[in-house]
Amino acid sequence: MPQDPYVIDEMISAKTIAARVEALAGEISACFSDTDKLVVVGLLRGSFIFIADLVRELSLPVEVDFLEASSYGSMTESSREVRILKDLRGEIAGRDVLVVEDIVDTGYTLHHVRHLLSARKPRRLKVCALLDKPARREVDMSADWVGFDIPDEFVVGYGIDYAQNNRNLPYIGKVRFT
């Protein structure tokens, strides 16, 4: 599909992200300080860079797993469905779990994932999202930790794509159509 030409303006620098990730990791490590092991679940694909940086800053024993969810917008915004394309490899019953997401937009993805995983009876289930766009929320959903609240702009980089492009940018950028 052809894309309109666009440029990317830096919104959050790599340095600013790194400092925030370190701070989040400190809070998460303190919260789970009594755990035997934390299962860190990344939501594919957008979280792959954030989870890689975050786990390296955690001072906890960690296990890493991944889940892939796809959210389908239908004719009406309110009847969105989230489908699981790749489930976790491991069991989470009775375990400490942290879900890691790149961005909360409408909230459908995380709402569904939290519901799905809590049904498996983890000991504790927390959610950390790097970015939050509260203005776009359609379903009641808030992450336990958020890196940055951002305005309703189309963002890319640090794992986040525009039509599968720009995930490898080291910073968060704002798409501007030219």
* Residues near ligand PRP, by CB under 6 A: 43-46, 70-71, 101-109, 161
Window 40-99: residues binding Mn ion (CB under 5 A) = 46
Residue 99 contacts residue 126 (beta carbons within 8 Å) = yes
Dihedral sign for Cα 124, 139, 66, 147, please.
Answer: negative
Minimum Å gap between C-beta 95 and Mn ion is 23
Please pick, among 36, 105, 140, 149, the residue that the annotation labels catalytic: 105
Starting at the edge strand found earlier in the chain, the sheet holding 124-132 runs: 81-86, 62-72, 38-44, 96-104, 124-132, 145-149
Task: Give the Cα separation of 160 and 50 in Å (integer).
Answer: 10
Residue 141, φ and ψ in degrees, nearest 5: -160, 125
**Does the active-site annotation cover 53?**
no
Window 110-169: residues binding Mg ion (CB under 5 A) = 161
Dmax (CA) of the chain: 51
Q: Which does 14 bind (CB under 5 to 8 A by kind): Mn ion, Mg ion, ligand PRP, none?
A: none
Stretch that binds Mn ion, among 17-25, 39-47, 141-149, 170-178 (CB under 5 A): 39-47
Q: Which does 92 bind (CB under 5 to 8 A by kind): Mn ion, Mg ion, ligand PRP, none?
A: none
Starting at the edge strand found earlier in the chain, the sheet holding 172-177 runs: 6-12, 172-177, 155-156
Minimum Å gap between C-beta 119 and Mg ion is 25
Q: Which residue is nearest to Mn ion (CB)?
A: 46
Any idea which residues carry the catalytic annotation? 105
Q: Where on the chain is the footprint of Mg ion (CB under 5 A)?
A: 161
